[in-house]
Amino acid sequence: MPGQPIIDAHVHTYRSREIGRQAMMGSGLTDYGGTVDELLALMDRGGIQKAVMVNMTPVVDMFEAAVAKLPADLSPAQRAEAEDDIRRQMIGRLQRRNEWTCHVAREHPRLIPFIGLDPSMSAEELVAEIDLRWGEGTRGPTGARLGGIKLHPPNQRFYANDRRLWPAYERAQELSLPIIFHSGAFALGPGPTDHAHPKHFPDVLSAFPHLTIVMAHLAFGDFDACADLARDYPNVFFDCCYVINGTEKRPSLSDEEAAAALRRVGTDRVMFGSDYPWFDPVLDSARVQRLPLTEAEKRAVLHENAQRVLAL
Ligand SMILES: [Zn+2]
C-alpha cells in the first residue's frame, strides 16, 4: 500500500457489470465493469481512500434511440406529444440514476456522489433536482452529502455557456457545489465535436466567479488552453484522467512530458482521476507516483487538490 493518501476524482459506477460494459461500448482499456464492489476492491488494492462518482445519463442518445422507434405515420401533433413523453421518461431515468448514485454514497461513504442534469430540463426542474439531492445528503445517516454536478457537453449536445444552465450554475454556486465538465475532444461520439472546447468556458468562469469548475481530461491534452484558463480564472481546476494514465502500455506522453504538462497548468490545479472503469485506478495512480515531480507536487495532485477543491 502506498504511503500517501490518494483520492480518485473521476470514476463512473454502474448497477451491474452488464450495464457498465454496455456504457463503455468497447472503448475501455480494461476488463472492468464499473460495479461498486469491484471499485471498492480496486481502491483497497491501490491505497485509494476516496473516489468521486461523476455519474451521468446519456439523455440525448437515449432520446434519439426512442424517437427512431416511433411509428412513421404519426401526425406532427402526435409526434410532438410522443417526443415530449419520451423526453419526460429520459429525465425520469436521469433522476433515478442520481437517486441511485446518492444511495450508493450513503452506503459507502468513501464514494462521493456527483449528479447529472440535462439542459432540456426547465429552470425549475434543474434547481429542484439539485435541492432534492442536496436535501437527501444532509439527511443521510452517514452524513454522505452531495459532492457536486457532472455535465458532459458533447454527449448532451450543449456548450458550457448555454444560458439554459444558468439557473443550475447559480444554485451550485450558492451551495458551493463544484461542477465537473467533460472538456476537449470526445472519443466516444459519432464524429468530431467542439462542444467541450476550452473556448466555451470563460463565459461561465467569469459569470460565476465563486463556482468551482473542473475541466476533466485537461481538455484532452490542450495544455496551452488549460494553462491560459488557469492563469485567468482562479475558479477553474482540472483532472488528468485519460491524458495521463498508467493503463496504456505505451502512453502518448512520456513521464517527463506528463510532469511538464502538470507543471505548465499548475500542480495545485490538477487532480488525479482515472475514469474507471475505462482505465485502471491502481495503474493510473501508480503512474502519477512515478512521475518526475517533487513529493509535495505528487501529494497535491494525488490528494490535497481534491480535498481542497472538492471540499472532501
Ligand atoms: Zn469520465
Map out the domains of the chain as residue ranges: 6-309
pTM of the shown model: 0.95
In the reported structure, the alpha carbon of residue 1 is separated from the centroid of ligand 1 by a whole-number distance in angstroms of 25
In the reported structure, the alpha carbon of residue 278 is separated from the centroid of ligand 1 by a whole-number distance in angstroms of 8
In the reported structure, the alpha carbon of residue 152 is separated from the centroid of ligand 1 by a whole-number distance in angstroms of 9
Q: Cell numbers 500517501 correspond to what residue?
A: 4
Q: CA angle 292-295-297, nearest 5°? A: 75
Q: Is the peptide bond before 281 cis (omega within 30 degrees of 0)?
A: no
Please list all protein residues whose beta carbon sits less than 5 angstroms from ligand 1, which is an ion: 275
How far apart are alpha carbons 256 and 254 in whole angstroms?
5
In the reported structure, the alpha carbon of residue 294 is separated from the centroid of ligand 1 by a whole-number distance in angstroms of 27
pLDDT (tens, 9 = 90+) of the chain, 312 residues, equals 446 799 999 999 999 999 999 999 888 999 999 999 999 999 999 999 999 999 999 999 999 999 999 999 999 999 999 999 999 999 999 999 999 999 999 999 999 999 999 999 999 999 999 999 999 876 555 567 899 999 999 999 999 999 999 999 999 999 999 999 999 988 766 677 889 999 999 999 999 999 999 999 999 999 999 999 999 999 999 999 999 999 999 999 999 999 999 999 999 999 999 999 999 999 999 999 999 999 999 999 999 999 999 988
In the reported structure, the alpha carbon of residue 211 is separated from the centroid of ligand 1 by a whole-number distance in angstroms of 21
Cβ–Cβ under 8 Å, residues 161 and 203: yes
Fold of 6-309: TIM Barrel (3.20.20)
| DSSP structural state of residue 291 | S
In the reported structure, the alpha carbon of residue 273 is separated from the centroid of ligand 1 by a whole-number distance in angstroms of 9
In the reported structure, the alpha carbon of residue 73 is separated from the centroid of ligand 1 by a whole-number distance in angstroms of 39
How far apart are alpha carbons 101 and 146 in whole angstroms?
10
Amino acid identity for residue 38 in this structure: E
Cβ–Cβ under 8 Å, residues 247 and 284: yes
In the reported structure, the alpha carbon of residue 212 is separated from the centroid of ligand 1 by a whole-number distance in angstroms of 18
Task: Of 12, 7, 8, give the one whose Cα is nearest residue 150.
Answer: 12
How far apart are alpha carbons 134 and 28 in whole angstroms?
31
Q: Give every strand in the sheet of 213-216, ordered side by side.
A: 6-11, 48-54, 111-116, 148-151, 179-182, 213-216, 236-239, 270-271
In the reported structure, the alpha carbon of residue 242 is separated from the centroid of ligand 1 by a whole-number distance in angstroms of 9
In the reported structure, the alpha carbon of residue 72 is separated from the centroid of ligand 1 by a whole-number distance in angstroms of 36
Q: Where are the beta strands (DSSP E) in 29-94?
A: 48-54
